[in-house]
């Protein structure tokens, strides 16, 4: 088979995922194998998707038919054939299989556990956004309305943002509980938190994030420089700038805090993982 059209999620969604439309009778929409892996929130390694599908729980819950389809990518050609764009063979998957595997993931969230927490959240958002944009498209088709490409992209982006916001949780209370224990801080009666938490939040959460190879800062500066409504692009496909990075970082810090018997051990782990911290002069 050959692809007649090619697109990419990079400009609109901030993630480098190639997508194609094939020349078969169904005009099958396809994601590249690498893009499929990234859309699920898995690392980009060549064998990452295979290992994920081969894991005991996923292979059990997914069913033989779905797992077989996802271990046998579709091969197709893309390219005009000219000197500037010679044809190349690409491996990919029917885009609807992304919805199928996401349904499996979200249906068995309890069994998959914390190991796949980020993948589960990713799957939740993909499922909900796709369902909303799908019913919207069906009504348009039945009513004889043909939206422009920009309208379709904008609608899906809106649904993704809506769903992602459900997971923009406040700092986990478990982290505060561990800070109380490690730093022997007395809880404040009533509402509010001790002033020491402000320094801990800055030094252990925001400073390391700001040092994250500058990526988050670069994206924020680039969007600010554009002017206009200064709307923020999606980062990692499923959340606004920094949301996913913050969630992942909080998880790392909480894990270090829970595994530390005392303040000194915790501080050493923070320093080893994120570099020198500002002195906490309580």
- Together in a domain, 107 and 198: no
- Together in a domain, 156 and 219: no
Those residues with Cβ within 8 angstroms of residue 53's Cβ, 6 or more apart along the chain or in another chain: 59, 62, 67, 70, 71
What does the pLDDT read at residue 73?
93
Distance from C-alpha of 11 to C-alpha of 244, rounded to nearest angstrom: 18
- Together in a domain, 177 and 159: no
Position 268 in a domain: yes
Q: Where a domain ends, among 165, 191, 224?
A: 165
- Together in a domain, 137 and 24: yes
Position 25 in a domain: yes
* H/E element, 181: helix 173-182
Position 280 in a domain: no
Position 77 in a domain: yes
Tokens (6 digits) for 150: 């920009």
Q: Where a domain ends, among 111, 135, 165?
A: 165
Position 279 in a domain: no
DSSP 89: E
Position 282 in a domain: no
The Cα-based distances of 101 to 61, 80, 98, 263 in angstroms read 10, 33, 5, 42
- Together in a domain, 116 and 192: no
CB count within 10 Å of CB 254 equals 18
Number of domains in the chain: 2
Handedness of CA 193, 252, 244, 205 (dihedral sign): positive
- Together in a domain, 123 and 253: no
* H/E element, 29: strand 29-32
What does the pLDDT read at residue 279?
44
What does the pLDDT read at residue 3?
93
- Together in a domain, 151 and 217: no
- Together in a domain, 156 and 228: no
Distance from C-alpha of 74 to C-alpha of 199, rounded to nearest angstrom: 52
Convert 120-158 to b/e letters by CB count within 10 Å (16 or more is b). bbbbbbbbbbbebbeebeeeeeeeeeeeeeeeebebbbe
Ranges of residues in the chain whose predicted pLDDT is under 70: 45-46, 80-85, 165-170, 190-191, 210-244, 276-282
Selection from 14, 9, 12 nearest residue 235 by Cα: 14
CB count within 10 Å of CB 169 equals 10
Burial label, 258 (beta-carbon count in 10 A; 0-12, 13-18, 19+): middle
Domain with 189, as residue range(s), is 173-274
Assign 235 to helix, strand or coil. strand
Position 210 in a domain: yes
- Together in a domain, 74 and 154: yes
- Together in a domain, 105 and 148: yes
Rg (CA), the chain: 22
Distance from C-alpha of 36 to C-alpha of 89, rounded to nearest angstrom: 17
- Together in a domain, 188 and 226: yes
Q: Where a domain ends, among 103, 138, 165?
A: 165
Convert 80-108 to b/e letters by CB count within 10 Å (16 or more is b). eeeeeeeeeebebbbbebbbbbbebbbeb
CB count within 10 Å of CB 183 equals 17
Position 30 in a domain: yes
Assign 90 to helix, strand or coil. strand
- Together in a domain, 134 and 194: no
What does the pLDDT read at residue 239?
46
What pTM, to 2 d.p., does this model score?
Answer: 0.60
């Amino acid at each position: 088979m050959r692809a007649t059209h090619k697109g990419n999620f990079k400009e609109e969604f901030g993630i480098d995922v190639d997508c194609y439309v094939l020349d078969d009778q169904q005009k099958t929409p396809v994601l590249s194998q690498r893009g499929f892996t990234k859309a699920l929130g898995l690392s980009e390694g060549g064998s990452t998707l295979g290992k994920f599908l081969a894991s005991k729980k996923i292979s059990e819950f997914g069913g033989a038919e779905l797992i077989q389809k996802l271990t046998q990518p579709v091969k197709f050609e893309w390219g005009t054939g000219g000197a500037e764009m010679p044809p190349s063979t690409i491996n990919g998957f029917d885009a609807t299989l992304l919805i199928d595997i996401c349904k499996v993931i979200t249906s068995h969230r309890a069994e998959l556990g914390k190991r796949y927490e980020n993948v589960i959240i990713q799957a939740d958002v993909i499922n909900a956004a796709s369902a909303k944009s799908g019913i919207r498209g069906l009504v348009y088709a039945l009513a004889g309305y043909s939206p422009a490409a920009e309208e379709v992209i904008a609608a899906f982006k809106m649904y993704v943002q809506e769903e992602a916001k459900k997971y923009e949780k406040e700092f986990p209370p478990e982290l505060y509980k561990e800070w109380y224990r490690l730093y022997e801080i007395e809880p404040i009666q009533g509402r509010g938190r001790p002033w020491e938490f402000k320094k801990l939040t800055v030094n252990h959460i925001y400073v390391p994030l700001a040092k994250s190879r500058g990526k988050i800062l670069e994206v924020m500066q680039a969007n600010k420089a554009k002017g206009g409504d200064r709307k923020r692009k999606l980062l990692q496909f499923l959340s606004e700038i920094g949301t996913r990075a913050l969630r992942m970082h909080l998880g790392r810090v909480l894990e270090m805090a829970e595994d530390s018997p005392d303040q000194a051990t915790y501080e050493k782990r923070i320093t080893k993982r994120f570099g020198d911290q500002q002195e906490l002069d309580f």
